[in-house]
């Protein structure tokens, strides 16, 4: 219906890549960290890091259905930290450069990011400002042809390995949303410090950092858009970030269910396979039904995106549902595995830990509800 031979060819390519280049390495990467330069170079060579981006900068120039196919296949990766790192590169740190960056920024930063020659990070959250983005304190003060940046960022994915950070900083002390600039900040400049690599519950193969900016002088030409438009641009960029989470969630949740069904078909308890208990079958069917709802909402969003419509309301609903559903499914499947599900050796325990982030990161569940309530007019 939506997919032709070209979409299927992309699907096969990504599936093979996940099976060959990602999943066999997951256990090692969970112990250490994903080597992003190595992984992204391979993906860049296959054209996977700029599917919807302009061909002029090395992108594929394809429509959002191709993007959906790519993201659905990433849903089969056996640890959330890898797709999250990829998503930062493709859907979180670069959309603003693509949409609002100058020719210079696109040539100098977007092109190498698409090629996999540069690793990116998105720097919004601070110790005192997560859900309330406008509360951030990192300052960018204009000084001649540069901005001088001082402050810190917390929980930054890819932060230890990034070549540049797309950074939201305060450019004025005026209250309101027109006091921020979004900058491309190369990490090789003096004053950039990775102050800490953070330890986490899940997404263990992902590199999460605390960053520090100490009188870091970035050329004024590294500003994306105008010096008072950064907040608005970042809010738009968040829509790409939140969309990114949807396909991987319904595909990943379905994988969890398939794995669980296989287990409970074989697991004999009270003299019969666990699956013979109607209560468990019905629970699985409830989840499969909700997974289908999330998938169809996502397809609806893609149809709207293709038409250039505002999808903020629908993406917020999708992100809300994705967080709730992945928690419900990973928690419920773990329960069906019993003690085995609690063991680190079972994939479901990793699924449970990794998916917990979805209701917090990139806009917490309550923040999504506030956005939806605003669209509903109350």
Ligand X SMILES: Cc1cc2nc3c(=O)[nH]c(=O)nc-3n(C[C@H](O)[C@H](O)[C@H](O)COP(=O)(O)OP(=O)(O)OC[C@H]3O[C@@H](n4cnc5c(N)ncnc54)[C@H](O)[C@@H]3O)c2cc1C
Q: Which residues bind ligand X (CB under 6 A)?
A: 88, 121-125, 130-131, 155-157, 200, 203, 208, 357, 360-362, 364-367, 370
CA distances from 66 to 14, 72, 222, 318 (A): 11, 10, 30, 19
229/241 with CB nearer ligand X:
241
C-beta of 218 vs 357, nearer to ligand X = 357
The answer to whether 99 touches 106, Cβ cutoff 8 Å, is no
Q: Is 241 a catalytic residue?
A: yes
DSSP H or E segment with residue 217: strand 208-219
d(CA 256, CA 250): 10
- Which one, 124 or 246, has the nearer CB to ligand X? 124
**CB closer to ligand X out of 266 and 366:** 366
**DSSP state at residue 126:** B
Alpha helices (H) in the chain, listed in sequence order: 5-17, 26-31, 36-45, 64-74, 81-87, 95-100, 103-105, 111-115, 230-266, 278-306, 312-337, 339-342, 347-355, 365-376
Residue among 30, 126, 229, 241 flagged as catalytic: 241
Q: Decide whether 194 or 364 has the Cβ nearer to ligand X.
A: 364
First to last CA, the chain: 37
Taking the C-alpha atoms of residue 143 and residue 171, their distance in angstroms, rounded to an integer, is 12
- By beta-carbon distance, which residue lies closest to ligand X? 130
3-state helix/strand/coil string of 64-110 = HHHHHHHHHHHCCCCCCHHHHHHHHHHHHCCHHHHHHCCHHHHHHHH
Rounded to the nearest 5 degrees, what angle is found at the Cα of 103, between the Cα atoms of 100 and 106?
Answer: 70
Q: Shortest gap between Cβ of 200 and ligand X (angstroms)?
A: 5
Q: Are 169 and 230 in contact (CB under 8 A)?
A: yes
Whole-number minimum distance, CB 344 to ligand X, in Å? 19
Using CA atoms, how far apart are residues 268 and 252, in angstroms rounded to an integer? Answer: 26
- Taking the least distance from each CB to ligand X, the nearer of 131 and 265 is 131
Q: At closest approach, how far in Å is the CB of 113 from ligand X?
A: 15
CB of 369 to ligand X, least distance (A): 8
341 φ, ψ to 5°? -65, -25
Catalytic residues: 241
């Amino acid at each position: 219906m939506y997919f032709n031979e070209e979409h299927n060819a992309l699907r096969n390519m990504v599936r093979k890549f996940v099976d060959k280049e990602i999943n066999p390495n997951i256990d090692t990467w969970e112990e250490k960290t994903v080597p992003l330069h190595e992984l992204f170079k391979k993906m860049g060579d296959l054209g996977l890091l700029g599917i919807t981006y302009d061909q002029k900068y090395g992108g594929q120039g394809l429509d959002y259905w191709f993007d959906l196919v790519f993201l659905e296949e990433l849903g089969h990766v056996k640890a959330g930290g890898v797709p999250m790192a990829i998503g930062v590169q493709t859907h979180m740190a670069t959309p603003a450069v693509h949409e609002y960056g100058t020719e210079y920024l696109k040539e100098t930063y977007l092109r190498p990011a698409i090629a996999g020659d540069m690793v990116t990070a998105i720097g919004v959250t601070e110790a005192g400002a997560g859900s309330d983005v406008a509360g951030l304190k990192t300052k960018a003060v204009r000084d001649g042809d540069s901005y001088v940046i001082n402050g810190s960022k917390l929980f930054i994915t890819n932060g230890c390995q990034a070549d540049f950070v797309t950074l939201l900083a305060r450019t004025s002390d005026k209250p309101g949303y027109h006091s921020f600039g979004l900058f491309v900040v190369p990490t090789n400049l003096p004053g950039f410090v990775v102050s800490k690599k953070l330890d986490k519950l899940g997404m263990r193969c992902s590199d999460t950092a605390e960053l520090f900016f100490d009188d870091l002088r970035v050329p004024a030409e590294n500003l994306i858009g105008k010096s008072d438009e950064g907040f608005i641009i970042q809010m738009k960029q968040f829509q790409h970030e939140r969309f990114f989470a949807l396909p991987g969630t319904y595909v990943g949740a379905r994988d969890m269910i398939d794995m669980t069904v296989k287990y409970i078909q074989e697991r004999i308890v009270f003299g019969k396979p666990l699956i013979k208990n109607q209560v468990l079958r019905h629970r699985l069917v409830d989840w499969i039904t909700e997974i289908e709802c999330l998938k169809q909402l996502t397809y609806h969003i893609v149809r709207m995106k293709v038409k250039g419509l505002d999808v903020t309301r629908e993406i917020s609903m999708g992100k809300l549902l994705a967080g709730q559903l992945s928690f419900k499914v990973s928690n419920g499947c773990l329960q069906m595995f019993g003690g085995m599900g609690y063991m680190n050796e079972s994939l479901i325990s990793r699924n449970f830990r990794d998916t917990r982030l979805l209701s917090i990161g990139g806009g917490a569940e309550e923040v999504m509800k506030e956005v939806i309530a605003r669209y509903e007019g109350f």
